[in-house]
Amino acid sequence: MASENETTSKSGSTDNGEVAVVRKIALITGITGQDGSYLTEFLLEKGYEVHGLIRRSSNFNTQRINHIYIDPHNAHKARMKLHYADLSDASSLRRWLDIILPDEVYNLAAQSHVAVSFEIPDYTADVVATGALRLLEAVRSHIDATGRSHIRYYQAGSSEMFGSTPPPQSETTPFHPRSPYAASKCAAHWYTVNYREAYGLYACNGILFNHESPRRGENFVTRKITRAVGRIKIGLQSKLFLGNLQASRDWGFAGDYVEAMWMMLQQEKPDDYVVATEDSHTVEEFLEVAFGYVGLNWRDHVVIDKRYFRPTEVDNLKGDSNKARKVLGWKPKVGFEQLVKMMVDEDVELAKREKVLVDAGFMDAQQQP
Ligand code: NDP
Ligand code: GDR
């Protein structure tokens, strides 16, 4: 039986008179990423069946969702299912849509690192921009073939699209992207708007400002800092090499932001929404709070390395999320200091576990698991 808070699309009766619950089905690209893992937890809690598209890797890439994975051989218990596909492979997208028959599609997959997008611009555009187009087109042709016009699509847009346009940035603020990643996200944004207008697709752009968590990739600045704080505190590292400390970001908690994604797809009409805390801090302020929390002074450890400066920087992001707050009823629950402390706490514990392995000779202090 479904629990009370489970979201179901329809229900019927079985032969023996029990109510058979038909769950809503979500398809998530980028399920192995930070947001994919939180969104999966959120949707499972709501009673959804969740299907994730994962790409082939020579190493396991499912660390962030291992804790919710149930072996598909326990078919009656497993409500999260994983399938191989890639945003660069249009046929795989269409095939899984036809097999899974989702009610909601969340496109979270991306080459999501801004600095790396300057190194691999062609690949970034292929996955972030054309990948979104491939998925939209797969959804459109799937609807054409099956008549399943109730299907809803979420596109993971980014505050990076605003680039050099000064804050506060809202849905009406012009885009001025400052990287191949940001330009590609702008293309994906407009593809999504176009599919909504041209084909009547229920498609939403979430324009999300930076959101972080203990699951954040380790080469994004917040996690890079909190990992270093943990390792310095435990004695595994002494220096932290960073780039521009003066950039300001509107940092929220990823767990709060995935709820906004879902809320967008529950409205009567599709639309685009900015999601932000409306509170902005510099990288230096992040350092102050993170190091200060464990009694360290960041100035004793941070070394500026020009390698981490970008050819074009985004200096100042601070969102105006009035529309999301009014229409969706969304608001963030975790504030800046709480977020930093949550990340530091987790990374101090992680460093302690690493230290055990280092002391036992199973790991080099330089090597990170
Ligand atoms: P991550 O980098 O943590 O996750 C990206 C996901 O995309 C991973 O699951 C990755 O797989 C997958 N992926 C990458 N390339 C491909 C591909 N070619 N085909 C299929 N899957 C692929 O990002 P986040 O979770 O932080 O962000 C989610 C989305 O939201 C991204 O689109 C990002 O650009 C966007 N965004 C993020 C913000 C943030 O602050 N976090 C803010 C605004 C937008 P693998 O695990 O194998 O690498
Ligand atoms: P961002 O996040 O570019 O905002 O994109 P990131 O954490 O990479 O950079 C934030 C700011 O910190 C400065 N910085 C450094 N950044 C990194 N990664 N490493 C460093 O050593 C370093 N030193 C200083 C950067 O110059 C920048 O100003 C993130 C990603 O999640 C995108 O996918 C998403 O779209 C946006 O957030 C919103």
CA dihedral sign, ordered 286, 291, 295, 300? negative
pLDDT band at 78 (very low <50, low <70, confident <90, very high): confident
Amino acid 77: pLDDT = 73
**Residue 132 parent element (H or E):** helix 131-146
Closest residue to atom 12 of ligand 2, CA basis: 221
Cα–Cα distances in angstroms (integers) from residue 151 to residues 24, 27, 37, 154, 346, in the given order? 11, 11, 22, 10, 38
- Pocket lining: 208 vs ligand 1, CB cutoff 6 Å: yes
How far is ligand 2, taken at its centre, from the CA of residue 268, in Å? 35
pLDDT value of residue 4: 35
11 membership: H or E segment, kind and range: strand 8-13
**pLDDT of 21 strictly over 80:** no
Element (H, E) at 49: strand 49-54
Nearest listed ligand to the Cα of residue 219: 2
In this structure, the residue with its CA closest to atom 23 of ligand 2 is 243
Position 363 scores a pLDDT of 87
Of the residues 160, 213, 215, 221, which should be mutated to test ligand 2's pocket, given the most ligand atoms within 8 Å of the CB? 221
What is the chain's length?
A: 369
> Is the pLDDT confidence value at 13 over 70?
no
Q: Is residue 15 predicted with pLDDT exceeding 60?
A: no
Q: Which atom of ligand 2 is nearest to the CA of 283?
A: 12
Q: pLDDT tens-digit profile of 131-183?
A: 999 999 999 999 999 999 999 999 999 999 999 999 999 999 999 999 999 99
- Find the mean pLDDT for residues 219-242: 97
Lowest mean pLDDT among 71-80, 270-279, 291-300, 333-342: 71-80
Distance from the alpha carbon of residue 89 to the mean position of ligand 2, in angstroms: 28
The predicted structure's pLDDT at residue 366: 76
- What atom in ligand 2 is closest to the CA of residue 244? 24
d(CA 131, CA 88): 6
Sheet bearing 104-107, strands edge to edge: 80-84, 49-54, 25-29, 104-107, 152-158, 202-208, 273-275
Q: Given a cut of 50, is residue 2 above it in pLDDT?
A: no
Q: For residue 218, report the distance from its CA to the centre of ligand 2, in Å.
A: 11
pTM, full prediction = 0.95
User: Mean pLDDT for the chain?
Assistant: 94
The pairing of strands 8-13 and 19-23 is antiparallel
Of all protein residues, the one whose alpha carbon is nearest to atom 27 of ligand 1 is 35
Higher pLDDT, 283 or 60: 283
128, 169, 213, 220: residue to mutate for ligand 2 pocket, most atoms within 8 A of CB? 220
Report the nearest-CA residue for atom 35 of ligand 2: 158
Helices 180-199 and 131-146, axial angle in degrees (round to 10): 20
Task: State in Å: Cα 369 to ligand 1 middle.
Answer: 20
Residue-wise pLDDT for 180-207, tens only, equals 999 999 999 999 999 999 999 999 999 9
Extract the runs of DSSP E, i.e. beta strands, from 159-298: 202-208, 211-212, 240-242, 248-249, 252-253, 273-275, 281-282
Is any atom of ligand 1 closer than 6 Å to the C-beta of 211? yes
367 confidence band (pLDDT: 50, 70, 90): low
Whole-Å CA distances, 4 to 7, 8, 16, 334: 8, 10, 22, 27
Asked whether the predicted pLDDT for residue 308 surpasses 80, the reply is: yes
- Mention every residue, 6+ apart, whose C-beta is less than 8 A from residue 25: 9, 48, 49, 50, 51, 100, 101, 102, 103, 104
CA distance linking residue 287 with residue 211, whole number of Å: 17
* pLDDT tens digit sequence for 82-119: 999 999 999 999 999 999 999 999 999 999 999 999 99
pLDDT at 282 over 80: yes
Q: Which residues are catalytic?
A: 158, 160, 181
Confidence of residue 17 (pLDDT cuts 50, 70, 90): low
- Nearest ligand 1 atom, CA 64: 46
Which three-class secondary structure state does DSSP give residue 174?
Answer: coil
Q: Whose CA is nearest to atom 15 of ligand 2?
A: 221
